[in-house]
Structure 1
């Protein structure tokens, strides 16, 4: 444990990979982060409700869903006092280094896993090398194990350097459900940031490639829908029922008929539907999980409004009632050109950089945009970087993995960027130019 993280990047990443925990259930993960952060000796460490207001969270599981993960954490010997601080699923942490006058820089990394069963074949490197997920049905299939490793290593390296300024690292829970970005963005730790960096590994960019800033992340919302009707015997008295199955079918068909918008791209999808109990029973209840996305926050709102209207209208058409709940959402926020230009200069000679891409369209959604937007609204600059990695299959698949040489590369990219921000702060903006 006393060996520097920079010298054990692979083992730290693999340790996180073995124990993936989904959104708001990251109890062991947070405890491991706290152990490392206390060893590093940060100037301030806030965990769970000390890092954000729990009321700002979104997509929080109920106590029944959280309890097995708490029990698992206890079985692994997690400190009970720390578990008490994380009660109710208040996971994640914020770590701060105060090193005198200089820029105030934030780094956001995400920490949650996914409900995906990891591959077991020998062709899958984590299985062959013995660091496959130890929790069946759950997997780090998006690289968050890498992101956490970077966050810790950056803190340790900056703590041991002559850096002048303030570095705040957000170890954010619940990215995969869009639930953790908002509370961290609303926290006091964002208030005075001059710069915010977010980072992701891979995303179909190869090892050695760096994208200095993403553009056009899609604004997104997750929507849960419950349709309630009236049960009846399908043979004896079908007319006495209000059929939630029919309402569901109408809702699904009409959702995909929502008109596109001339202002830009929109997306809608129903990813899960559960309805009915038996072939001879008029279904009285259905549950659907849907989403809407848009090229801008306004376009997402358009798609969301139409989606909500479709759900309620479909239910009404068949004598049912629809309860529509927006579980989580995130805005669009683009990387600032001034910061992108600095990153390009900073990482062009970074160890491992072979190709530099100034900007690239993101094409997906990310709740780091909450933090980016808040910093930008406060007059700061933000950028979302991608550090490429060769991975055998795409993110969110059972065989996802990373090229572990990207661990060193990503650390170098972040350190070079932070030191360059220190030296060039404050950055000149176009409106400041004569």
Structure 2
């Protein structure tokens, strides 16, 4: 029998931190999760294509999967699991069936980022020996902490007298917006009464908890490839159709997309590549761009304008453009009933000094697919934040978490699940309750 996860939160988190894997390449990560889940003992465990329909995935890389699969194999990942994850079908869903009671989902994400972790001696993972072992990749957003929470909560509920159903989604590919959709469309997301999603930090310090985010931005990622005609830049430039020139026009015009009177929108071209030599008219250009909106409808507006801009710029220069929506996610807000309950639970957790009933998110998250699915089916959802002191911002080489927050997260989530069990169905929140929480936080 392995040592309880709740007694080794720091160790579990650091082991995940050493082995970060980016979206749809989380082979070793999934294998380690499965090992821990099996030790806990669950009623159902689905891995990869058994957890979702692979056709529903977004932003799946065309190449680069095999080296990550081999790396996982070299590190001792279970061969049967690797076989099931062929093609990048990573992630898992664990289910506890404990009789009559509410059906509750918990979503945690598992992927890392293409960032080279700092080697500075004062960076704690360096100083304490758990820096990423994979060059160019790190857990720079706290997903190592999220996985630890998911496992510890699963264990705590499995060992309790909980009555109901708990479904824990260990979701791949959050950073690319690719994994939330297949999880949300899966059978495991059906008929959930409640969904909890959670993130560490996000500029909230250790000891602070946000009971539920509001106003996450709807988002889409777009790839655009412009194809023209190559020619000699000196001898016969008139014979070419300049893909690079078309790309430049597309970039300039993208930032000229009109704002919308109904609310905020965002557009950005993040990468742009073209050309082979100074004396060659570029035949091909590629851009990666995104559009965001305060609502799903506003994101759709920005997305349509962005697609049209790319195609029009190509046509203007005698080229053609292929525009693909790689991934996208809707807006979904936390439900006030769950915000109130999480606030109440968090106020009673040791080490939590301040509870915010709500906070604007200001970014995007594909957990909104699961939130939307549950809400559309008549359930309630919230996306909580458990604060942590982090020396630098998320997605930076020196990002780290204050490991005191690991226990805070487990206690908030386990406490919320047990309260949902006891209070199901959760009553509507009275306006006076909202005011009471607001006064308590001032």
Normalised-by-shorter TM-score class: over 0.9
Kindly state the Cα deviation for residue 341 of structure 1 after the two structures are TM-superposed: 0.9
Q: Which residue of 2 aligns with 1:8?
A: 8
**3-state SS in 2 of match to 1:232:** coil
Kindly state the Cα deviation for residue 429 of structure 1 after the two structures are TM-superposed: 2.8
Q: Which residue of 1 aligns with 2:281?
A: 282
- C-alpha separation in 1, matches of 2:415 and 2:38: 24
Q: Deviations over 1:271-304 (max 9, x none)?
A: 0001001100000000100000000000000000
Kindly state the Cα deviation for residue 382 of structure 1 after the two structures are TM-superposed: 0.1
2:39 equivalent to 1:39: yes
- C-alpha separation in 1, matches of 2:393 and 2:250: 31
Kindly state the Cα deviation for residue 344 of structure 1 after the two structures are TM-superposed: 1.1
CA RMSD of aligned residues (A): 0.9
Kindly state the Cα deviation for residue 107 of structure 1 after the two structures are TM-superposed: 0.2
**3-state SS in 2 of match to 1:311:** helix
**3-state SS in 2 of match to 1:385:** strand
Once the two structures are superposed, the pairs formed by residues 225-244 of structure 1 within 5 Å of their partners are: 225-244=224-243
- C-alpha separation in 1, matches of 2:324 and 2:95: 36
Q: Which residue of 1 aligns with 2:440?
A: none
Q: Where do 5+ consecutive residues of structure 1 fail to align? A: none
- C-alpha separation in 1, matches of 2:428 and 2:383: 18
- C-alpha separation in 2, matches of 1:245 and 1:219: 30
Q: Deviations over 1:333-388 (max 9, x none)?
A: 00001111111112211122100000000000000000000000000000000000
Q: Give the TM-score normalised by structure 1.
A: 0.98
How many residue pairs get matched?
Answer: 430
**3-state SS in 1 of match to 2:177:** coil
2:206 equivalent to 1:204: no
Kindly state the Cα deviation for residue 430 of structure 1 after the two structures are TM-superposed: 6.5
Q: Give the TM-score normalised by structure 2.
A: 0.96
- C-alpha separation in 1, matches of 2:284 and 2:150: 45
- C-alpha separation in 1, matches of 2:274 and 2:242: 10
- C-alpha separation in 1, matches of 2:372 and 2:240: 48
- C-alpha separation in 2, matches of 1:110 and 1:208: 22
- C-alpha separation in 2, matches of 1:345 and 1:165: 21
**3-state SS in 2 of match to 1:245:** helix
Q: Greater CA deviation, 348-357 or 177-186?
A: 348-357
Q: Which residue of 2 aligns with 1:57?
A: 57
Q: Deviations over 1:197-243 (max 9, x none)?
A: 00000000000000000000000000000000000000000000000
- C-alpha separation in 2, matches of 1:315 and 1:57: 29
Q: Which residue of 1 aligns with 2:217?
A: 218
Kindly state the Cα deviation for residue 109 of structure 1 after the two structures are TM-superposed: 0.1
Asked if the contact 2:141–2:395 (Cα under 8 Å) also holds between the matched residues in 1, the reply is yes
- C-alpha separation in 1, matches of 2:217 and 2:267: 12
- C-alpha separation in 1, matches of 2:408 and 2:380: 23
- C-alpha separation in 1, matches of 2:150 and 2:409: 10
Q: Which residue of 2 aligns with 1:141?
A: 140
Q: Which residue of 2 aligns with 1:113?
A: 112
Q: Which residue of 1 aligns with 2:29?
A: 29
Kindly state the Cα deviation for residue 427 of structure 1 after the two structures are TM-superposed: 1.0
**3-state SS in 1 of match to 2:96:** strand
Once the two structures are superposed, the pairs formed by residues 22-421 of structure 1 within 5 Å of their partners are: 22-62=22-62, 64-421=63-420
Kindly state the Cα deviation for residue 414 of structure 1 after the two structures are TM-superposed: 0.5
Q: Where do 5+ consecutive residues of structure 2 fail to align? A: 431-442
- C-alpha separation in 2, matches of 1:355 and 1:108: 24
**3-state SS in 1 of match to 2:168:** strand
- C-alpha separation in 1, matches of 2:309 and 2:156: 52
Kindly state the Cα deviation for residue 192 of structure 1 after the two structures are TM-superposed: 1.2
Segments ≥4 residues shifted beyond 6 Å: none
